[in-house]
Copies of this chain bind each other. A is one copy, B any other.
Amino acid sequence: MEVEIKVPLTEEEFERIREILRSRGVFVERKFESDVYFNHPCRDFRKTDEALRVRYDGNSLKMTYKGPKVDSDTKAREEIEVQLYEDVGKILEKLGFRTAGKVEKAREIYHFEDVTVYLDDVHNLGKFLEIEMHSDNVMVAKERIFEVLNLIGLNKDRTTRKSYLELLF
């Protein structure tokens, strides 16, 4: 299970939180991620709350399936990810999957306390914070994520459960 929250940030918050993460966390890397999302040939992913994504980060290609969200406060959901040598987009198109949209962002990754924190600058959308944990226990992970959010100085009611795709299109 991937347990995750997302918070839209102002420029000032983005810089302030970056300072916190740089001084009290561990900077992992900065990369540019280009994500293509697909619609299912016979399921409306907006209704079933699923997602199929192919991500290219300049280095590697990954295909990711995201199941329906299982929690009302977070974006907790099943996630299955496989690494690819080559883009499967052409095969997906032949199978009737249609491109739903493209999300491009510059992402900074930090380890902070026991969670992973992303600072995202999403093309045409703005700046965001994501806090993520992988756990089989959604309740425990969620509690911890909200503690970290509080530590960073942000209120729980600032979170959105919407994906970048939903926010963009």
Segment of A15-23, A25-33, A37-45, A148-156 in the binding face: A37-45
Given the known A-B contacts A41-B41, A41-B42, A43-B41, are A91 and B82 also in contact in the complex, defined by CB atoms under 8 Å? yes
A26 and B126 alpha carbons, distance in the complex (Å): 59
Question: Given the interface contacts A41-B41, A42-B42, does A88 sit within 8 Å of B82 by beta carbon?
Answer: yes
Q: Is A47 at the interface (CB under 8 A from chain B)?
A: no
**Beta-carbon contact of B67 and A91 below 8 Å:** no
A86 at the interface (CB under 8 A from B): yes
User: Chain B: which residue is nearest A67 at the CB level?
Assistant: B94
CA distance A63 to B86 in the complex (A): 10
Asked if A90 and B94 make an inter-chain contact with CB atoms under 8 angstroms apart, the answer reads no
